[in-house]
């Protein structure tokens, strides 16, 4: 005789309501995706309608992170034809080729300059040696290194400043050479030439560290020098269009400054302006009986507006947190960027980490010198250095680039050598981690870098 056994098992599960799922999906959308979503709402629900634009003029929207400073000057009729203006933007190479005729060059000198322009990389650097360029051009051109050296000197006087230099430090030094002479500039030249790899902390810490190595300059001069360096362009090609298709964005957040420092404001031009049709809603409320379909539409309309309000509130709270933590970045550029974790932001705002991750997805902020994704500011803390503050991965990658750029090309550093050099800077990471960062930077191994 068989016995029937009944087993009971308790299991706790968490299920998100359909409304909450929709709200999280809206939070994760980009501005363009949200605009398409709102269009669908308006077509489906007659209780929703576009709200009137405010009487006061709103902040003009920067269209693209890649277009840079020149596009930010569009206004009036130009702004209405922004796409056409962007399409007509010179790329770096055509911009440089056009300048050749503006300089007093002979036909042969001009030809050499044209050749060098075509050898520049996408950042505006000349990373190949003149010897390599001679070897990679047809013999009938009869090029010599001395001819190209003269052409390179001429090309480096072109705009933008820092063009045709070999790496970041050379580019910064060339840009500094064009600025008026001052103690701050002399200090900046010293920092870029000898201590650029030390700029791995916040600006205030950098001042303290550099004071030990630059005793001839006072703290105010060092700070002014850091500000000067922060105002320079790390990539000569920044602001020019490329052949790579660009994703055009509209920043939801604008960063402004007052006497107390930097602060975030909402860019109202980018947020969908939707409201409930008050006349139709009032008619439903005054009706003796209302069909269940209209009740659902009314509830849905309120829910949609709540979703938009919640999305905006969350993004702005995160933007406020970023500005609070990254004041040095907005003052001095990437030099002032400090590590910041999504986990810490979530704890501070009392939100789930997944909510923060969704909210920073495809959202952008605009500062005076460019447009940045919100996610850009959330970098993993890679290591703990000499002090208790972590160092962001982006800073370590920048240091690796600097070290490798200045290495002896006949005896390039191995990953183990790079690890030891970073340790001398107080950065304790393994050889395997060095190799991982090198791969992410698309830098070949030592054997493949050897010339």
In 3-state terms the chain splits into helix, strand, coil percentages (rounded to 5) of 55, 10, 40
Q: Which domain holds residue 100?
A: 92-231
Q: Does a structural domain hold residue 10?
A: no
Do 366 and 398 fall into the same domain?
A: no
In this predicted structure, what is the pLDDT of residue 390? 55
At residue 385 the predicted structure's pLDDT band, cuts being 50, 70 and 90, is: very low
Is it the case that residue 52 has pLDDT exceeding 60?
A: yes
Taking residues 365-378, what's their average pLDDT?
83
In this predicted structure, what is the pLDDT of residue 282? 85
In the DSSP assignment, the letter for residue 139 is G
Do 111 and 227 fall into the same domain?
A: yes
Q: What contacts 24+ positions apart, CB below 8 Å, involve 124-127?
A: 124/92, 124/160, 124/162, 124/163, 124/164, 124/171, 124/235, 124/236, 124/237, 125/164, 125/165, 125/166, 125/167, 125/171, 125/236, 126/152, 126/164, 126/165, 126/166, 127/166, 127/167
More confident residue, 19 or 429: 429
**Which of the residue ranges 53-67, 70-84, 435-449 would you say has the lowest mean pLDDT?**
70-84
More confident residue, 169 or 316: 316
Distance between CA atoms of 272 and 67, rounded to whole angstroms? 24
Do 98 and 222 fall into the same domain?
A: yes
> Of 72-76, 244-248, 337-341, 446-450, which has the strongest mean pLDDT?
446-450
Is it the case that residue 414 has pLDDT exceeding 80?
A: yes
Do 103 and 216 fall into the same domain?
A: yes
Do 280 and 305 fall into the same domain?
A: yes
Distance between CA atoms of 449 and 451, rounded to whole angstroms? 6
Taking residues 358-378, what's their average pLDDT?
84
Residue 426 backbone class (left: φ over 0; alpha: ψ -120 to 50; beta: rest): left
What are the phi and psi torsion angles at 391 (to 5°)?
-120, 130
In this predicted structure, what is the pLDDT of residue 6? 56
Q: Does a structural domain hold residue 411?
A: yes
Distance between CA atoms of 304 and 19, rounded to whole angstroms? 9
Taking residues 302-331, what's their average pLDDT?
91
Do 105 and 222 fall into the same domain?
A: yes
Q: Does a structural domain hold residue 384?
A: no
At residue 65 the predicted structure's pLDDT band, cuts being 50, 70 and 90, is: very low
In this predicted structure, what is the pLDDT of residue 90? 56
Residue 442 backbone class (left: φ over 0; alpha: ψ -120 to 50; beta: rest): left
Domain final residue pick, 196, 231, 266: 231
Q: How many domains does the chain have?
A: 3
Q: Does a structural domain hold residue 184?
A: yes
Distance between CA atoms of 86 and 7, rounded to whole angstroms? 69
In the DSSP assignment, the letter for residue 116 is H
Is it the case that residue 188 has pLDDT exceeding 80?
A: yes
Do 135 and 199 fall into the same domain?
A: yes
Distance between CA atoms of 18 and 295, rounded to whole angstroms? 18
Do 357 and 413 fall into the same domain?
A: no
Do 226 and 96 fall into the same domain?
A: yes
Distance between CA atoms of 308 and 299, rounded to whole angstroms? 15
In the DSSP assignment, the letter for residue 196 is G
Residue 419 belongs to a domain with what CATH number? 1.10.10.60
Whether the model clears a pTM of 0.85, i.e. scores above it, the answer is no
More confident residue, 246 or 334: 334
Q: Does a structural domain hold residue 70?
A: no
Do 261 and 360 fall into the same domain?
A: yes
Do 136 and 204 fall into the same domain?
A: yes
Is it the case that residue 259 has pLDDT exceeding 70?
A: yes
At residue 268 the predicted structure's pLDDT band, cuts being 50, 70 and 90, is: confident
Residues forming beta bridges with residue 364, ordered by sequence position: 373
Q: Does a structural domain hold residue 23?
A: no
Do 161 and 192 fall into the same domain?
A: yes
Q: Does a structural domain hold residue 257?
A: yes
Q: Does a structural domain hold residue 38?
A: no
């Amino acid at each position: 005789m068989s016995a029937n056994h009944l087993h009971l098992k308790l299991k706790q599960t968490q299920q998100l309501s359909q409304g909450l799922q929709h709200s999280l999906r809206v939070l994760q959308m980009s501005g363009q995706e949200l605009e398409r979503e709102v269009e669908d709402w308006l077509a489906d629900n007659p209780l929703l309608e576009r709200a009137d634009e405010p009487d006061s003029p709103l902040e003009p929207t920067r269209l693209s992170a890649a277009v840079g400073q020149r596009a930010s000057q569009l206004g009036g009729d130009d702004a209405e034809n922004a796409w056409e203006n962007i399409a007509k933007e010179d790329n770096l190479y055509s911009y440089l080729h056009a300048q050749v005729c503006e300089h007093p060059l002979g036909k042969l000198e001009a030809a050499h300059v044209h050749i060098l322009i075509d050898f520049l990389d996408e950042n505006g650097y000349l990373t190949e040696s003149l010897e390599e360029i001679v070897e990679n051009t047809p013999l009938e051109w009869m090029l010599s290194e001395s001819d190209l050296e003269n052409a390179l000197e001429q090309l480096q006087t072109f705009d933008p400043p820092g063009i045709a230099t070999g790496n970041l430090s050379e580019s910064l030094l060339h840009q500094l050479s064009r600025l008026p002479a001052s103690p701050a500039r002399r200090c900046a030249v010293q920092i870029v030439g000898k201590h650029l790899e030390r700029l791995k902390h916040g600006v205030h810490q950098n001042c303290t560290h550099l004071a030990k190595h630059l005793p001839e300059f006072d703290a105010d001069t060092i700070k002014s020098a850091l500000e000067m360096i922060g105002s320079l362009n790390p990539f000569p090609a920044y602001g020019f269009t490329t052949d790579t298709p660009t994703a055009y964005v509209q920043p939801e957040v604008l960063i402004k400054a007052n006497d107390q420092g930097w602060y975030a404001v909402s860019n109202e031009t980018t947020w969908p302006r939707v409201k409930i049709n008050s006349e139709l809603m009032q008619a439903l409320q005054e009706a003796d009986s209302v069909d269940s379909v209209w009740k659902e539409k009314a509830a849905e309309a309120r829910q949609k507006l709540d979703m938009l309000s919640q999305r905006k509130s969350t993004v702005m709270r995160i933007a406020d947190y970023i500005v609070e933590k990254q004041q040095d970045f907005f003052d001095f550029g990437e030099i002032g960027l400090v590590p910041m974790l999504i986990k810490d932001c979530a704890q501070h705002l009392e939100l789930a980490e997944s909510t923060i991750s969704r909210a920073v997805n495809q959202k952008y902020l605009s500062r005076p010198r460019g447009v940045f994704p919100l996610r850009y500011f959330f970098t993993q803390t890679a290591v703990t250095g000499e002090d208790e503050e972590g160092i962001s991965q982006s800073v370590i990658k920048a240091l690796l680039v600097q070290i490798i750029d200045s290495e002896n090309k006949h005896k390039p550093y191995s990953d183990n050598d790079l690890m030891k050099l970073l340790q001398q800077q107080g950065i304790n990471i393994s050889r395997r981690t060095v190799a991982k960062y090198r791969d992410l930077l698309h830098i070949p191994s030592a054997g493949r870098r050897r010339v």
